[in-house]
Structure 1
Amino acid sequence: MTSLPSNLPKANQAIPEYDSVYKTCLRVERALSKLLAEKNHEQKTQLTTDLIYIRILGYLLHFIPSHTGLDSLARQIKECSGDNDLLQLGQMYYDKYLRPFRFNRGRTSGSSRSSPISFDTLDDMMTAYLTGEATPVSFATAKKKALVRDGFRCVISGSYDATSLRASEQLRNKRLAENPVPELVPTQCAHIFPTSMHKDIPLGSDKRLGVSALYTVLERFGYTTLSEELEGEKIHRLENVMTLDPALHTFFNMLELWFVATGESNQYTIRSIYGTELKYEGKEVTLESKVDGLPLPSPAYLAIHAACAQVAHLSGAAEHIDKYDRDMEDVMVLSPTGESAGLLDHALRGLQIAGY
């Protein structure tokens, strides 16, 4: 958890409405930090949570990737009648924006270790992978088409997909001709918006309402067509998927790695919570399709993910989510004295996100 910077980025600070509400966040953060230094353990737990909520609002003012979203958030903060309302607003973004992106993201899938069909030529394999619907409506189709578009490689590391190499001698020779020879890994199909958001969600269910709440938040940010773009099986559209190394996929899913747009078309700088400890920290990657007509990952989707990742990390929300999830795994029986009340509340709100 990192304290809010004293100022917004210059472009945002230049707008009086943003600067004014950010100063409100700073004031509340200072007051909570002072109280935190004076209180006992039980009170500190709630104060720490409140600090996370106010920092979520502050960091959103840094990272929301649209002026529409910044305008909306500034209005919401300004309309709060007191500090408690502000904290409730921060909790709303914690529950409706950060947790859905992070919820059930620990598991990754999409690599295939089954024996692949061999192809006479690389073109034959690409043609076979591209056969079918123009917009993927299944995970398997999305993975194959993303592999073709991404050149059968992780878009960050450049490592080749091991299964595809086994299926094509031409692809193997292409890899071996490079210097240095790239690694081979069981790549995975990474979704920017998680598949759990739309997997078998019946109309009218609580989980559908949870997904709708996320889209309502994103509509306030100016992204008014997302619910239609990602409805049902359209979650597998090529704009929402890319090929990643398994470890990088896990980091991406856990909001520990993100893509920062450089200003050049489809070019990004890789950032992570690990800084220079991660080999690819600061690497510039340009996303490009190896085949005409295959859409690239959406810059808007990646921007939404990047904002969520940075706010979750810097505010302390990601660590908070992880702590409560670990505690829930460790606790077999809730305390009769009420010490587990916060844990229970967090768990119940998580179940609402999951649709139970």
Structure 2
Amino acid sequence: MADINLLPQLDAPHPLTKTILPQSPPFSVPSLIIAYRTVLAAETEAVKRYNQRQLEGAPKPLKDLAANNILASRVVGFLFPALQNMCHTLGDTPVTRLATEVDSAQGDALYDLGRKYIDHLICSFRTTTAPLKPPSSHPSRPSIDQLDDMLNDAIQDSATEHRSARTRALARDRYHCMVTNSIDANSFYKHKAIKQLQAETGAAVRTVQTCHIFNESILQNTQPDDEFPQQAGRQNASAALGILKMFGLEDIVDRLMTIGQDDVASASGVHDLLNILSLITDIHAAFDHLKIAFEPTDEPHTYDIVFAHPEAAIGFFGLKKRITLTNFATRRRFKQAGGLLELPLPEPRLLALHAVCVRVAHMSGAAQALDDLDRDVEDTLVLARDGASANLLDMKLSPLVQTVA
């Protein structure tokens, strides 16, 4: 197997009985160092409480709470270097705002801050249930012989739902997976033009899916004027978008919250192509579960493809370590929201934040905890009478569990 980009591999599972955050921060900004030391103290205190409750034989809910606090402090701690390393794409605002929040946290409030970032940042870029993807074009449409006709057909589609986003994304991405260069099977079997394109490129034929960077389900049933949303789902959306705004991504929030003229069920801006990737099924699943990241480089729209585990990269035909995204239909335009817009490439700042979440979730142990939670939720039909399932119930009812409708 060719060399691949990997996240730092841990020597052992994330222990709860000792601290794991680096004692010396990998940055030299004084204000960040002061805030980071606060997080180090919080992790130390959480580990101390956990060990004490283990020694005392405390009830499981109390031990679970202590473990939860350890995880929350580690998430905040690993956010510092992850955001700092993405300053070339995100700027200094995210890590500076994080330090301000840490400085304002008193006592156990820092653990609540960590849970906020799990619930409303990490889980905003994590999808646990992949929906059945619609075909790239309406079944009744005849086969198209010329590629230009296919592109024109795609970009004239001005609807703002998932199906139309897929059609436009495939046109933008040359009907290929961005990472493996595989060509979309549905388009290949349906259109002579794509058969000709495959013959020219020699690409493998695979199912290519529409992948959302920012979790599509979060913006369901959300309106732009929801200043004080009452429903839990809307509160989750408000908190998630609030973090993006705090990090300086107000313009992206405005795009995500665009509502189509006939779309009253959700913010159809989540289907804006700035939030869309074209990926084969397995890469899509890995991206959704924070197992793979697109890490922006210094070159425009150029990304290092980074895997959390080396085993996950085995078997992918045509796998690329670095990709540069281009618009295949660069001279074409489509109508949306009353104006003419080019087919936008995926937004680098959204991909940078997804990459931050991958690194933080992996290094802190949150990725494993969320995967375990998904399995527990699926396997647990009846909660324990002695309260041993209380933490699971709390997690099950929280925004940590994200599914796509």
TM-score (norm 2): 0.78
The answer as to 2:282 corresponding to 1:265 is: no
Aligned partner of residue 387 in structure 2, secondary structure: coil
TM-aligned CA deviation for residue 111 of structure 1 = 5.1
Are 2:341 and 1:284 aligned? no
In structure 1, the partner of 2:142 is 117
1:101 aligns with 2:125: yes
Unaligned runs of 5+ in 1: none
1:151 and 1:71 map into 2 onto residues whose CA distance is 39
Q: What secondary structure is seen at the aligned counterpart in 2 of 1:244?
A: strand
Query: Residues of 2 paired with 1:276 and 1:315: CA distance?
Result: 20
> Please, which of 9, 23, 26 is the counterpart of residue 6 of structure 1?
23
Question: What is aligned with 2:43?
Answer: 29
Distance 1:344 1:285, change over 3 A: same
Match of 1:173 among 155, 174, 196: 196
Aligned match of 1:314 in 363, 373, 388? 363
Matched, 1:227 2:253: yes
Q: Establish whether residue 199 from structure 1 lines up as the match of residue 213 from structure 2.
A: no
- In 2, Cα distance between equivalents of 1:28 and 1:205: 32
Work out whether residues 144 and 193 of structure 2, in 8 Å CA contact, stay in contact via their aligned partners in 1.
no
Listed as ranges, the gaps of 5+ residues in structure 2 are 1-12, 15-19, 84-89, 258-266, 331-341
| Amino acid corresponding to residue 98 of structure 1 in structure 2 | I
- Counterpart of 1:211? 237
Q: Partner of 1:333 in structure 2?
A: 382
Q: Is the 8 A contact 2:395 2:401 kept in 1?
A: no
Moved over 6 A (4+): 351-354
> Conserved in 2, the CA contact under 8 Å of 1:240 and 1:297?
yes
Deviation (angstroms), 1:26: 2.3
**Cα deviation 1:132-175 (Å, max 9, x = unaligned):** 32xx5111111111101100000111000011112333432332
Higher normalized helix content (fraction of residues): 1
Inter-partner Cα distance in structure 1 for 2:213 and 2:124: 12
> SS of the counterpart of 2:305?
strand
Match of 1:48 among 54, 63, 67: 67
CA drift of 1:285 comes to 0.5
Checking the alignment, whether the CA contact within 8 Å between 1:210 and 1:353 is kept in structure 2 is no
CA drift at 1:201 = 3.6
Distance across 1 between alignment mates of 2:187 and 2:123: 35
Aligned residues: 345
Aligned residues of 1:69 and 1:222 also touching (Cα < 8 A)? yes
Counterpart amino acid of residue 35 in structure 2? V
Shift of 1:347: 1.6
Looking at structure 1, the residues matched to 378 and 187 of structure 2 have their Cα atoms a distance apart, in angstroms, of 38
Q: What's the CA shift for 1:264?
A: 0.4
1:95 is displaced (CA, Å) by 1.9
Q: Secondary structure at the match of 2:398?
A: helix
| 1:344 lines up with 2:361 in the alignment | no
Aligned CA distance change for structure 1 residues 116 and 247 (closer, same or farther; 3 Å): farther
Task: Answer whether contact 2:292 2:358 (CA < 8 A) is retained.
Answer: yes
Counterpart check, 1:73 vs 2:98: yes
* Equivalent pair of 1:109/1:188 in contact (CA under 8 Å): no
Maintained 8 Å contact 2:212/2:276: yes
Specify the alignment match of 1:161 in structure 2.
184
Aligned partner of residue 297 in structure 1, secondary structure: coil
Q: Which segment is superposed worse, 213-222 or 323-332?
A: 323-332
Computed over aligned residues only, the root mean square deviation of the Cα atoms, in angstroms, reads 2.5
- Asked whether the equivalents of residues 108 and 249 of structure 1 are also in contact (C-alpha less than 8 Å), the reply is no
1:146 matched residue in structure 2: 169
Partners of 2:22 and 2:370 in 1: how far apart? 23
Contact 2:326 2:345 in 1 (8 A): yes
Alignment of 1:243-254 (within 5 A): 243-254=278-289
CA distance in 2, matches of 1:339, 1:37: 18
Provide the C-alpha distance between the structure 1 equivalents of 2:321 and 2:304, rounded to a whole number of angstroms: 6
Amino acid at match of 2:149: D
Tell me the secondary structure at the aligned position of residue 277 of structure 2: strand
Matched residue type, 1:187 = V
Whether the 8 Å CA contact 2:273–2:345 is kept in 1: the answer is: yes
CA contact (8 A) 1:266 1:299 kept: yes
- Residues 58-96 of structure 1: CA deviation (Å, up to 9, x unaligned): 1111122431111111111112222x1211211122222
CA pair 278-116 structure 1, distance change in 2 beyond 3 A: farther
Q: Which amino acid aligns with 2:115?
A: Q
